[in-house]
Amino acid sequence: MKLHVINTGFFKLDGGAMFGVVPKSMWQKLNPPDENNMCTWAMRCLLIEHQDRRILIDTGIGSKQDAKFLSHYYLHGDDSLEKSLKKAGFSFEDITDVFLTHLHFDHCGGAIKYNEDRSKLIPVFPNATYWSNKEHWEWATKPNAREKASFLKENILPIQESGQLKFIEGKSPFADVELLFANGHTDHQMLPIIKYKDKTIVYTADLLPSVGHIPLPYVMAYDTRPLVTLREKEEFLNRAAEERLILFMEHDPVNECCTVVKTDKGVKLEKTFSLAEIL
């Protein structure tokens, strides 16, 4: 197995929304906001090269949205999905599987693009199977008012129309990859748990967006069920500490990976490091 970090660039989200009920006087030390209270976040994907498969986990925002939409999120940085894949030695055609942790636009937008004359939306990865699950697909295609702005039909419906969509039913379709389902952020979010040599790496998606979200009360205002997130985070962090899991963070603007440790005051950050340091 080989793992590749696929950086797709940075965007900005409101700091208050990202840290929920935590006062700005506390969270601003973790991710300093700009003059508009916006904080920078990564869109960090992961490519698993294993046996005859090349599995891309999440895809970032992409570039097909109009300028007005993109202006709300202040996309910046030199990285893109295409450039990062090319740097790793791959093209869009090489990807065999696209695993979508959930269908919010910053996780799946890069999976779909316009064709050359912009008359039709088509998959970016022509040879890939796109993976979701029935419960989350139903949630995303019939969105509640709270999440409607994050579930964009132009990101989602073309996947099914292409015939490339498959649903995961409980068990992972990939060797050496297990799944953890989480329901606090959105219904049936899927977190891959990757067995890599003698280590276990968890792609934490939006259960744990950054190291700043390790303290239990630090729950995003975007989460549909914050009390469920609290419980899920506590269970997951205890497991992470006990099993010495490596946490790969999609949105942390600085840190790719971390480990956590149990203390008298609960589970705390132990150390941060790049994925390359353990490969």
Sequence spans of domains, the chain: 2-278
34, burial (CB in 10 Å: exposed 0-12, middle 13-18, buried 19+): exposed
Query: How far, in whole angstroms, is CA 176 from its chain's centroid?
Result: 19
How far apart, in whole angstroms, are the C-alpha atoms of residue 266 and residue 141?
38
For residue 79, what pLDDT is reported? 97
The structure's pTM equals 0.97
How far apart, in whole angstroms, are the C-alpha atoms of residue 162 and residue 175?
25
pLDDT in tens, 53-67: 999 999 999 999 999
CATH class for domain 2-278?
alpha beta
Query: How far, in whole angstroms, is CA 151 from its chain's centroid?
Result: 14
State how beta strands 97-99 and 129-132 pair: parallel
Mean pLDDT of 201-229: 98
For residue 265, what pLDDT is reported? 92
Residue type for position 216: L
- C-alpha to C-alpha distances, 164 to 106, 133, 168, nearest whole angstrom: 20, 13, 13
Place of tokens 């008298």: 264
pLDDT in tens, 235-264: 999 999 999 999 999 999 999 999 999 999
